[in-house]
Amino acid sequence: MYVNVENATRCRATYMHCKAGKERSTTIMLCYLVEYRYMTPIAALEYVRSR
């Protein structure tokens, strides 16, 4: 898993990917949104789906 933490903490565009493509990137993104953007899990999932 690769995440540019510097970009994420500065609210800049951040590319995130999982080498094996096993949906781990989505899980990490949802956790990030819940923890650091104070979204509910449902709101975070809806946000990711809309993107």
Q: 4-32 pLDDT, tens per residue?
A: 667 666 767 766 666 776 678 888 889 98
Q: Which of 3, 8, 16, 18 is catalytic?
A: 18
**pTM of this prediction?**
0.64
Q: Where are the domains of the chain?
A: 2-50
pLDDT given for residue 50 in this prediction: 94
Contacts of 23 (CB under 8 A, 6+ apart): none
- Does residue 44 contact residue 34 with C-beta atoms inside 8 Å? yes
φ/ψ of residue 16, rounded to 5: -135, 135
Catalytic-residue membership of 18: yes
